[in-house]
Amino acid sequence: MTTLKNDTFIRALLKQPVEQTPVWMMRQAGRYLPEYRKVREQAGSFLNLCTNPELACEVTMQPLRRFDFDAAILFSDILTIPDAMGLELRFTEGEGPKFDKPIRTVADVHKLPIPDPELELRYVMDAVRLIRKTLQGSVPLIGFSGSPWTLATYMVEGGSSKTFRLVKGLIYEQPAVAHIMLDKLAQSVAAYLNAQIEAGAQVVMLFDTWGGVLTTEDYAEFSLYYAKQVRSLLKTSHDGQPVPALLFTKGGGLWLEDMADAGYDALGLDWQTDINKARARVGDRVALQGNMDPVYLYAQPDDIIEKVKTILHGYGTGSGHVFNLGHGILPDMNPEHVKVMVDAVHEYSRVYHQS
């Protein structure tokens, strides 16, 4: 067992006292960094980059060399599980992910396997092991997966969608079939995250990117229910250390109270949710992560600092806040603006943690 040199992130997730608010950033390893673009070019394709443990490790480490982040996040993609189920993932330039064998029939659903993470997804586990070794206990490593609902949207739509007509058609016309698929996905996601924990992930995060496109009733039935199922199957500790779990539903601000009862240690907030009101709504049940609008990083450095101060003030005193963006960083962002944000979080948050 490696003792963490900086465990602020984990302590904040567990609502334990910290000296300053921890900060990391969704998509912190990505196209806004010139060194990432160089490795991506070397890999030849995004999928090659994801499936090469050495290159995935390298791009995971890149932002930590530039910025004082309090966590590393595994470089991978949320669609690894459907690809391992045989849907044949590819990425088309300018169009995003596509599946050559999307879910189209009831038979397609019934024949979906539950992948073995150490076989079909071994490249991810090898990346986790290598990253954990390379970090040498400097900061915690976050593992992640797409949520069952979010994975289902891509699997049924065959890629990205604006209307979600096909997957919504499935849950309305054949809800029993949708539940069979989502149950398989929940089992697959839990096995995948547990394998990441065994390989070295110290925190896990469930990205429910498309939960917010559902009605309140449908969110409860087709998204949150399966997020709860995943949580009930997850390891909560490893090597004698707690393994916190984060749930992030983009557009989920309406349902924070229900999400807080799902068993996760922390909830991610998008930028449309007021963090002060969110804290009042969830009380002490969960920690909160968020939630600067990613576009605000285009602002001038002084304005970025003021926005950081506003969000820190909005959360208020005490532990349980992890500073982050409300979604992933945009690809053409100036890295220097990221440094301004990270440094401001550390500098101006200390006053909120004085006993």
Annotated binding site for substrate: which residue ranges?
A: 27-31, 77, 154, 209, 327
Q: CA–CA separation, 12 vs 319, rounded Å?
A: 6
Q: Are 288 and 321 in contact (CB under 8 A)?
A: yes
- Is 40 a known active-site residue? yes
- Is 350 a known active-site residue? no
Q: Which two tokens stand for residue 54?
A: 């050495």
Q: Are 125 and 199 in contact (CB under 8 A)?
A: yes
Q: 31, 37, 66, 281: which one is catalytic? A: 31
Question: How many Cβ atoms sit within 10 Å of the Cβ of residue 41?
Answer: 10
Q: CA–CA separation, 105 vs 6, rounded Å?
A: 49
Altogether, the residues listed in the chain come to a count of 355
Q: What is the 3-state secondary structure (H, E, C) of 239-304?
A: CCEECCEEEEECCCHHHHHHHHCCCCCEEECCCCCCHHHHHHHHCCCCEEEEEECHHHHHCCHHHH
Dihedral of alpha carbons 171, 172, 177, 179, sign: positive
- Is 264 a known active-site residue? no
Q: 11, 32, 126, 154: which one is catalytic? A: 154
Q: 7, 11, 32, 40: which one is catalytic? A: 40
Q: CA–CA separation, 220 vs 333, rounded Å?
A: 35
Q: CA–CA separation, 255 vs 340, rounded Å?
A: 32
Q: CA–CA separation, 319 vs 20, rounded Å?
A: 9
Q: 7, 70, 77, 208: which one is catalytic? A: 77
Q: 27, 132, 231, 279: which one is catalytic? A: 27
Q: Which two tokens stand for residue 152?
A: 């289902």
**Three-state DSSP class for 162?**
coil
- Is 281 a known active-site residue? no
Q: Which residues are annotated as a binding site?
A: 27-31, 77, 154, 209, 327
- Is 31 a known active-site residue? yes
Catalytically active residues are: 27, 31, 40, 77, 154
